[in-house]
Structure 1
Amino acid sequence: MNNSRMIKKWVFLSFVYLILVGFLGCLLRLIFFYPIEGVNFKYFLHGHSHLAFLGWLFNAFFAALVFTYVPEKAKTYKIMFWLLQVAVMGMLITFPIQGYAAASITFSTLHILLSYWFAGKFLRDTNKLHNRPLSLVFIRWGLLFMVLSSIGPFALGAIMAKGLGGSDLYQLAIYFYLHFQYDGWFSFAVFGLFFRILEINDIAFSNGHARRFLWLMLIACIPAYSLSTLWTQPHTYVYVIGFLSAILQLMALFYLMLIIKRAGKDMQTKLTPWTVRLFQFAYVSFIIKILLQFASAFPTIADLAFTVRNFTIGYLHIVFLGFVSTFLIGWFAQVNLISINSKLAKSGIVFFLLGFILSEAIIFLQPTLFMAGLGMLPFYFEGLFWVSLLMPVGVLFLVSGVRFLITKVPITGH
C-alpha cells in the first residue's frame, strides 16, 4: 500500500470516529428524557469524551501532521497508528461498561504512552527539515503541550487511589488536562496547519505579527490554567495571574485579526470557497472562545461558569466543534485529502453547522432563562436531542458524499 492510500484510510477512520462521537452525544441527551436500562450516563460520558479527543481529533491531527511535514516517512508511522486504534477501541468498549476501572485505565494509559512515541518521533523527524517554517514551530509547541496535558490523567489515578474521586483536587486534574488540550495541543496544532496553508499558497501575511501572535499565545498558555481554578476561590494572586493571561490572549487575538485582515483577500482567491467559509466559522468560534475566557477572569463569571454546567459544556463545544473540528474539515478539503464537491457532502456540512448553532443556542439560553426567573424551555431535553442529532447525521452525509482523494502529496516540509 502506498503512502497516499494509507493516509486516506487514517483520515476516513477519523471521520468515522466523529460520527460515533456525535451519536454517543445524542444518546447522552436522549436518556435525560428517555432513560435506557443498562446505560450508565457517567460511564458513557467518559467513552464519549475519550473518543472525541483521541478517536477523532488526535487521529485527524496525526494524519494531517504526517501528511503535511513528513509524507515520505508515512510508512514508519503505520504500526504506531494502528496501535493507537487498539487503545481507542479498547476505551470505546470499556468506558461505557465500567467507567474508570482497570481495563479502561490500561487502554487510556497505552494511548498516552503511544502519543509520547508519536510526539518524540515527529519532533525528531522534523528536526531534520531545512528552513523550518513558522507553521512547524506552532506544531512542535502543540505537541509539547499535549505531553504536558497528560499529567492530568496520571494525577487522576493517584487521586482516585487515595479515595478522593469527586474532590476539588480531582476536578483540578481534569481541568489541567482539558486546558492543555484545548488551549495548548488543539489550538497550536490548528494554527500550525493554518499558517502552513498560507505558506504553501503564497498568501502574504506579516511574519512579525505571526511571531507576536505565537509568543503571546505561548506566554499566556501555562498561566491561563489559573482561569480553570478560580471556582475554588483561591488567593488573590491567582485571580491576578488569570486576568493577566486573559489580557495576553486578547493581545494575541488582536495580532491574529491583523493577520487575517491582510491575508483575507488572497485567501478568497487562492483557497476554495468552502474552505474559506469553514475557516471563517472557525475564526469566529475562536474569537468567542477568547472573549469567554476573558469574561471568566472575573470572579462572578468564574463561579457561574463552574456552577452552571450548561455554560461549561457550551464553551467546550464551541472550541471542540465550532473551532477545531470545523477548521479540520475545511483544511482536509483544501489540501485535497477529501473532496466535498457533491451536494450530499455540502448538505452534510450545513446540517453539522446548523446542529452546532442550534444546540449551542439552547444550551446557553436555558440557564439564562432560569436566572431571569422565566423557568425552563418547553421540551428542553427533547429539543436539544433533536437538534444535536443534526450533527452526526451531517457528518454521516459528509462522509457518504466525500471522495477521499490523495492522488498526490501536495504539501511537503522540505
Structure 2
Amino acid sequence: MNLKTHTKTALLYFVFAAALGCILRFYKVLDIPITYKFIVHAHSHVALLGWVYLGLTTLLYKLYLSKSDIETKYSKIFWFTQVTIIGMLLTFPFQGYALFSIVFSTLFLFASYWFSWFFFKNVPAKYYSTQSLKCAKVAIVYLLISSIGPWALGGIMNTLGAASIWYRMAIYFYLHFIYNGWMIMALVAILFYIFEKQGMLMPESDFKKFFWKLNLGIVLSFLLSTLFTKPTIFYYILGGVGAVLQLWAFYDLLKLMKEHWCSVKNIFSPFYVRIVKVIVLLWAIKMLLQLLSSAPYFADLAILYLDFTIGYLHLTFLGVVTISLFLFLDYFQLLILNKKLYLVYIFGFILTEVLIFYKGITSWQSITLFTSYYLVLAVASLLILVAVLSMLINSNKGKLKN
C-alpha cells in the first residue's frame, strides 16, 4: 500500500478546501452565483475531514501499523473514507445540510469509528508502554468524543431548531474536541514517537504530570466554548484553569526540547528547525488567545465579532496543525516540502491572519476598513491555494527536494 498516494490524496483535499476558501473570499468582490453558507460547510468539512484527518491517520498508520500484515483491511477503511469525503465535497456546495450531505457526513463518522477500532486492535504490543502511543490513543478517544456533537445536531434540529443555543453548543463541542483534542494530541504523539526513536525520553513521572495537565486542560477549556450563553463566573474560572493547564503542559514540552536541543538539531535539518520554531510560536499564540478568552471582556469580544473567532480557528488549522503536518509528512518521506512553496504558504497564511484580525479590530473600534480590503484578502487567500496546489504537483513529479 502506497502511503505517499494517501498523502497526495489528503493534499488534493486541501487544494479543494483552499479553492472553496478562495470562492468565499471573492464572493465579496465578484458576483459569484453561489449560496455562501453551503460553500462554508463544504470548505470546513473537506479541510478538517479530508486534509487534516487523512493526513493524521496516514501518519498514525505508518508509525504504528505499516509493518503489520493488515494492508488489505486498512485499504477497505481508506477507500470507504474516500467515498464519504468525496460525497460531502459533491453535495455540501449545492445543498448545504440536506439529505445526501447528511448521509455522507454520517457515513464518515462510521468510517472514523472503523479506523479507531482498527487502530486499537492492531497496534503491536511493543508500543504499549510508549509515551507516544498513550498520546495517540487518547487522541483517538477525543476523535470519538467529538462525534457526539454531530449526532446531537440531528435531534436538536428536529426539536429545538437551529436558533437554539444547544445547536451552537453541539457545533462548538465538536470543534473543540476535534482540534484541541484529536488533532493536537495526535501531533504530540507523532512528536513523541520521533523523540523516542532518538532516545529523547521524558522521565515517566514528568510525563504523567504532562499528560494529565494537557488532557485535563483540554477537557476544562471546553467551557470557554460555552461562554456565549453568559454562564456564571464559575465557568470562566474553570475554563481559564483549563487554558493555564494547557500552557503549563506546553511549557513542559518546550523544557524537554530545550534540554535535548542539540539532539533536536541533529534529528531535524536547519529547515525543519525553523519550521519547529514557527509552530512553537503559533501554538503559544493560540493558547495565549485561548487564555485571554477566559476573561469576560475578551470572551464577549469573541462572541460579538466573528472575525476574531475565524482568525483563531484559522490560526489553529492553517497554522499549528497544517504546518505541523507539512513537517511530519516530509520528515517521514510522505510529502516533498519545497522551501519556496512553504514560504509562499507562510506568507499567504500570515497575511490572511493579519487581515482577518484587522477586520475584527475595526469592527470593535468602529473604524472604517480600507477600500480594497476584500480584494486584498481574496488575493492573499490565492497565495495559500497556489502554494498547496504547487506542493501537490511537485509531489506527483517526485523530483523537487529541500
Aligned match for 1:71, one of 66, 82, 90: 66
CA distance in 2, matches of 1:383, 1:107: 35
Give 1:43's aligned residue. Answer: 38
Describe how 1:163-242 pairs up with structure 2 within 5 A. Answer: 164-203=161-200, 205-242=202-239
Give 1:308's aligned residue. Answer: 305
Give 2:20's aligned residue. Answer: 24
CA distance in 2, matches of 1:40, 1:400: 30
Describe how 1:122-161 pairs up with structure 2 within 5 A. Answer: 122-126=119-123, 128-161=125-158
Give 2:248's aligned residue. Answer: 251
- TM-score, length-scaled by structure 2: 0.94
CA contact (8 A) 1:28 1:44 kept: yes
Residue 364 of structure 1 aligns with an amino acid whose one-letter code is F
How much has 1:130 moved relative to structure 2? 4.8
CA distance in 2, matches of 1:218, 1:267: 25
CA contact (8 A) 1:143 1:185 kept: yes
Give 2:384's aligned residue. Answer: 391
Residue 136 of structure 1 aligns with an amino acid whose one-letter code is L
For residues 197 and 404 of structure 1, do their structure 2 counterparts lie closer, same or farther at Cα, with a shift above 3 Å needed? Answer: farther
Give 1:121's aligned residue. Answer: 118
User: 2:364 matched to 1:371?
Assistant: yes
Give 1:8's aligned residue. Answer: 4
Residue 36 of structure 2 aligns with an amino acid whose one-letter code is F
Aligned match for 2:104, one of 102, 107, 120: 107
CA contact (8 A) 1:26 1:389 kept: yes
Q: Over residues 288-346 of structure 1, what are the superposed CA-to-partner deviations in whole Å (9 max), with x where a residue is unaligned?
A: 11101100001111111121111001000111011011001111111122333xxxx32
How much has 1:260 moved relative to structure 2? 2.2
- Identity among equivalent positions (%) equals 34
How much has 1:374 moved relative to structure 2? 2.9
CA contact (8 A) 1:274 1:330 kept: no
Q: Which residues of structure 1 form unaligned runs of 5+?
A: 406-414
Q: Over residues 276-296 of structure 1, what are the superposed CA-to-partner deviations in whole Å (9 max), with x where a residue is unaligned?
A: 222222221111111011000
CA distance in 1, matches of 2:243, 2:361: 24
CA distance in 1, matches of 2:144, 2:41: 20
CA distance in 2, matches of 1:89, 1:42: 19
SS in 1 for 2:367: coil
CA contact (8 A) 1:275 1:333 kept: no
CA distance in 2, matches of 1:166, 1:273: 51
CA contact (8 A) 2:26 2:375 kept: yes
CA contact (8 A) 2:152 2:170 kept: yes
CA distance in 2, matches of 1:119, 1:204: 26
Q: Over residues 257-291 of structure 1, what are the superposed CA-to-partner deviations in whole Å (9 max), with x where a residue is unaligned?
A: 21221232221122123322222222211111110
- TM-score, length-scaled by structure 1: 0.92
Residue 390 of structure 1 aligns with an amino acid whose one-letter code is L
Residue 307 of structure 1 aligns with an amino acid whose one-letter code is L
Residue 30 of structure 2 aligns with an amino acid whose one-letter code is Y
CA RMSD of aligned residues (A): 1.7
Residue 84 of structure 1 aligns with an amino acid whose one-letter code is T
Residue 64 of structure 1 aligns with an amino acid whose one-letter code is L
SS in 2 for 1:241: helix
CA distance in 2, matches of 1:374, 1:80: 51
CA contact (8 A) 2:224 2:294 kept: yes
User: 2:363 matched to 1:352?
Assistant: no
For residues 404 and 278 of structure 1, do their structure 2 counterparts lie closer, same or farther at Cα, with a shift above 3 Å needed? Answer: farther
How much has 1:127 moved relative to structure 2? 6.1
For residues 122 and 131 of structure 1, do their structure 2 counterparts lie closer, same or farther at Cα, with a shift above 3 Å needed? Answer: closer
CA distance in 2, matches of 1:130, 1:13: 28
Give 1:265's aligned residue. Answer: 262
For residues 200 and 348 of structure 1, do their structure 2 counterparts lie closer, same or farther at Cα, with a shift above 3 Å needed? Answer: same
How much has 1:390 moved relative to structure 2? 0.5
CA contact (8 A) 2:146 2:175 kept: yes
CA distance in 2, matches of 1:119, 1:293: 29
CA distance in 1, matches of 2:133, 2:11: 24
How much has 1:207 moved relative to structure 2? 4.7
Residue 270 of structure 1 aligns with an amino acid whose one-letter code is I
